[in-house]
Amino acid sequence: MNWPRFVRFIICLLLLSWISHSIFKQEAKLALGPEWNELDFWSQWKTSWSIGPSELGHALTQVGWSAFGWSLLFMGLSLILGAMRWKATLNALGLPLPSARVIEISWVAHFFNSFLLGSSGGDLLKAWYTARETHHLKTEAVLAVGLDRLIGLCAMLLFAAFFIFFNQDLMWNDTRLTAVASFIVVLAFGFGWVVLLALWGGPAQWRPVWMAWLTRIPKGELILRVIEGCQTLGRHPVALSKSILLSLLINLVCVLQIAALVRGFDLPVKLIPLMAIVPTVICISAIPVTPSGLGVRENLYVLMLASPIIGIPATTALSISLLAYAGSLIWSAMGGLVYLTFRDKHHLKELAHADEPIAEEI
């Protein structure tokens, strides 16, 4: 048995069970009124799971289909923009894969995101496929995926931190939300410096010192190549600016995806709070704890959307999260269809490269 995978599955199951029970319990308590307090613990548990699911199902039918359609469209647009950002990074590092191939690999990676840990587990597969197609530049191929993710995550953290300060009434008047907001601000500051140093390389007078030191340690040359790859992107202001701009557009589109569902439920929620909430949820759910961030994402949406300042019912907040995830699964299923033809379509090309000498290994 794969014990790490089993443990992560249990964590995911417990998180979903906990958030589901919390929602079901609230719905049952509201439905029964004073009678709720007369029930013992196990009766409350049983009643929660008998009344709660039907109430949640009712909430899922309340969103308009046009709103769900818009949410689905925004989800697909975010995938296209993400592929364009990765393409810009590939070009800067001298890996000019065709745009159609970039989109194809991105779609397959999104398919595997539904099963791997966090919301970015498919990046591992993306790096693997890219490395196979660029035999002489394997390190750069993997680096392109890592840099793309690093810039995207940094941009989203800074985006979230920026709008957190525009939502001080929301973030700083609730202890739990304050903890989440503080975590995001600290991460944004840390990742900002990491990206800056990776692209810039630090003060010129320090570079010969640490470069000479790296050449004397195991795998030091590999680390130098990674650093040089980062600085290569830093020396391409057009590609870097394009990556940052596309990252900001992706952030906005992700917010609009949730905003479409909020509008579908006829909820009077302004866009500004969502500009802080949505990227915050995405960043934290990207931490590889559960498959596709499942459970972590739902808990965060309920915590933040159901806060007194926003005032969305907890059941509706959970419905919004599940509907957004359903839209992601629809596009993931399309990625699965791409994957079914992926290996056959490129099999001969891979065999042709198999006999070529590989100059450099990761």
| Per-residue pLDDT tens over the stretch 73-95 | 999 999 999 999 999 888 888 88
Instruction: Please give the single-letter amino acid code of residue 330.
Output: I
Most confident of 24-33, 244-253, 280-289: 244-253
Q: pLDDT confidence of 355, banded at 50, 70, 90?
A: very low
Coarse DSSP helix, strand, coil percentages of the chain, rounded to the nearest 5 percent? 80, 0, 20
Of 330 and 117, the one with more pLDDT: 330
- Work out the mean pLDDT of the chain and round it to a whole number: 79
Q: How far is C-alpha 201 from the geometric centre of its chain's CA atoms?
A: 27
Alpha-carbon Rg of the chain, whole angstroms? Answer: 23
| CA dihedral for 82, 310, 267, 31, sign (positive or negative) | positive
Instruction: Find the mean pLDDT for residues 245-258.
Output: 95
Cβ-Cβ contacts under 8 Å for 168 (sequence gap 6 or more): none
Q: pLDDT confidence of 261, banded at 50, 70, 90?
A: very high
Cα 25 to Cα 13: distance, rounded to the nearest angstrom:
18
Residue 24: name the closest of 48, 45, 42, 41 by CA. 48
* Tokens 């569902």, located at residue: 261
pLDDT of residue 248: 94
In angstroms, the first-to-last Cα distance of the chain is 30
pLDDT exceeds 60 at position 58: yes
- Give the lowest-confidence range in 198-202, 299-303, 340-344: 340-344
Axis-axis angle for helices 65-92, 99-113 (nearest 10): 120
- List the domain boundaries for the chain: 69-354
Q: What angle do CA 71, 74, 75 make, to 5 degrees?
A: 85
Instruction: Please give the single-letter amino acid code of residue 334.
Output: M
- Element holding 6 (H helix, E strand): helix 3-32
Residue 194: name the closest of 139, 161, 157, 220 by CA. 157
Instruction: Find the mean pLDDT for residues 84-107.
Output: 86
Beta bridge partners of 291: 117, 118
Asked if residues 286 and 153 have their Cβ atoms less than 8 Å apart, the reply is: yes
pLDDT exceeds 60 at position 71: yes
Instruction: Find the mean pLDDT for residues 325-336.
Output: 80
- Give the lowest-confidence range in 12-26, 238-252, 321-335: 12-26
Burial class of residue 312, CB neighbours in 10 A (0-12, 13-18, 19+): buried
Reduce the DSSP state of residue 273 to 3 states and report it: helix
Cα 61 to Cα 58: distance, rounded to the nearest angstrom:
5
Cβ-Cβ contacts under 8 Å for 293 (sequence gap 6 or more): 118, 119, 285, 286, 287
Read off the tokens for 57. 């199902």
